Each structure stands twice: as structure tokens, then as C-alpha cells.
Amino acid sequence: MFAAFVVYPVAYGLWMASAPSLYRELIANPLYARAVVNTLLFVGLGVNVQMFLALLLSGFFMRRRWWIKALLPVYILPWALPAIPAFVSFHWMLIGEEGLIDSLLSALVGIPGPLWFNDRRLALGSDIVAYIWKWMPFWTLTFFAARTAIPQEIYEAADVDGASGCRRFAHVIFPLLGNLYLVCTLLFTLWTIGDFTTVSLVSEGAPAYSTDVLATLGIHYAFDAAQPALGIAAVMSALPVLIPIAILLMRALQTRQVQL
């Protein structure tokens, strides 16, 4: 099973993408260079902004007010919602003057909203925002679970020593959660590099394929342009980045066993 459905596709893919001429063709293609930049932006912002906000928000959900406790199940909703309907809804919200966002803008502020998918930066930005919306609850919950695992005495000791607010965060919580944070970030980076759904449904690569990331560009090459080998070469060119991340991740996982 494992051999037929994982090992064989990997080997087959590597074999298909092994011709060096493919990579020459890729580098000469301006779409490819733009997709690399898009992937870097998508992963860099999508992962790091998201993880940092999730870490902060997990602290917010530790507060003991009743409405904050009631808020948590609502906040989790994007994670429970399937990705496809959610991203379809994002697409529709931003689709232009009829979209909800632009309607809101003109109703509340009185300015006509931009055409989100006509501008490359806006379109890519919407992809990133949608991605953050979908996955931030998951990571917040993860950090929340980790924070509840920190013994109460440590907080009390920090309180006695006069560390509160930012200093408690910097000197107590972050060192304790640091390794977990690293593991999650690396893992999430691996996932995000391979993310296809977000870009393909939210901006659909619009305008004119300029917001394609590597994963969607590979599919475009393979199925719209009928050049499957080129498509595989496009995604496989990310391997030199993926493998070091995976090695780092394994290292971090080994030290993690002690904590938590």
C-alpha cells in the first residue's frame, strides 16, 4: 500500500523531473520566477504572522472572563468549517463591487472598494488573509493547550518576582513554549509550501496567473498547458528548501520529547 501509493509516485515524479533542460526552461519562464516570489511571500507572511498572532491570542483566551470562555468555541469555527466552502465564500466576498467587503466599505466609510483580484498585491494579500483565517484557530488551540500545561506555580513565582505583562511573556512563557513554537512553525511551513486549495479557490491565480504559488503553478503547467514534466519540475524545485526544514524539524522533535 505504502509502496504503491507513496513510494512509487515519489520515484516516478523524481524520474519525470530529472531532465536538466526542464529547469533551464523553468528559469527562463517569468511565471515561474513570480511564483517563487509569491510562494515566499505566502509562506513567510502566512506562517509567521499567523503563528505569532496565535501565540498572543492563546494568552488572551487564558483570561478568566466568562465571555472569553464563551468566545472560544465561536473562534474555533473556521477550523471546523471545511476549507472549500470557506474559501469559496472568501472569493465571493472579494469579487468586486457586489462583494460583501466592498459593499461594507461603501456603506460604512463611503469609499468604493478596490477590485481585489485585479491587483496582484491585493489578490495575494487576500489569499494570505484567508489562509490565516482558516488555520489560526488550530494553532491558537495548540498553544492554548500547551499554556494550560504550564504549572500554575510558575506563574505565581513570576508574579512574586514582579514579572508581569510583557516581561512575563518574554522571560517565562516564551522560553517554555519556544521549542513547541519552533516545531509548529517548521511543520506548518512544510504544509504551507504545499498548499494548493487557498490560492486556487480564493484568488484563482488571478490576475492572469500572477498570484500562482508553486503548487498551483505546477498544476497549471500539467493540466492546462499539458506539460506534466514541467509541472513536476516546478514543484520539485522546492525540494532543496523542504529537506533542510524537515531535518530541522526532526532535530527539534527529538529535543521536544522532554518538554510538555
- What is the footprint of another protein within residues 148-177 (CB under 8 A)? 149
For residues 84 and 198, the answer to whether their CB atoms sit within 8 Å is no
Report the nearest approach of another protein to the CB of residue 5 (Å): 4
Query: Three-state SS string across the chain, please?
Result: CHHHHHHHHHHHHHHHCCCHHHHHHHHHCHHHHHHHHHHHHHHHHHHHHHHHHHHHHHHHCCCCCHHHHHHHHHHCHHHHCCHHHHHHHHHHHCCCCCCHHHHHHHHHHCCCCCCHHHCHHHHHHHHHHHHHHHHHHHHHHHHHHHHHHCCHHHHHHHHHCCCCCHHHHHHHHHHHHHHHHHHHHHHHHHHHHCCCHHHHHHCCCCCCCCCCCHHHHHHHHHHHCCCHHHHHHHHHCCHHHHHHHHHHHHHHHHHHCCCC
Stretch that binds another protein, among 27-35, 96-104, 118-126, 155-163 (CB under 8 A): 96-104
178 near another protein, rule: CB under 8 A: no
Binding status of residue 225 toward another protein by CB under 8 A: no
Residue 217 · residue 35 · CB < 8 Å: yes
Region 108-127 residues binding another protein, contact defined as CB under 8 A:
none
Among the residue ranges 30-38, 40-48, 80-88, 115-123, the one whose residues contact another protein (CB under 8 A): 80-88
- Least separation in angstroms between CB 141 and another protein: 6
CA distances from 15 to 11, 233, 246 (A): 6, 10, 22
Nearer to another protein, 127 or 195 (CB): 195
Site for another protein contains 88 (CB under 8 A): yes
The one among 8, 33, 52, 161 contacting another protein by CB under 8 A: 8
Q: How far is the CB of 78 from another protein (least distance, A)?
A: 6
Which residue number, 14 or 37, has a Cβ lying nearer to another protein? 14
Least distance to another protein, CB of residue 156, Å: 19
Q: C-alpha cell of 184?
A: 509548529
**Near another protein by CB under 8 A: residue from 19, 157, 170, 250:** 250
- For 170, counting Cβ atoms within 10 Å of its Cβ (0-12 exposed, 13-18 middle, 19+ buried), the class is exposed
- The reply to whether 242 sits near another protein by the rule CB under 8 A is yes
Which 48-77 residues touch another protein, going by CB under 8 A?
57, 60, 63, 65, 67-68, 71, 73-77
Question: With CB under 8 A, what is the number of residues at the site for another protein?
Answer: 86
Find the part of the chain contacting another protein (CB under 8 A) among 32-40, 92-100, 117-125, 154-162.
92-100
Site membership for another protein, residue 207 (CB under 8 A): no
Q: Could you tell me which stretch among 34-42, 43-51, 142-150, 168-176 binds another protein (CB under 8 A)?
A: 142-150
Subset of 19-48 contacting another protein (CB under 8 A)? none
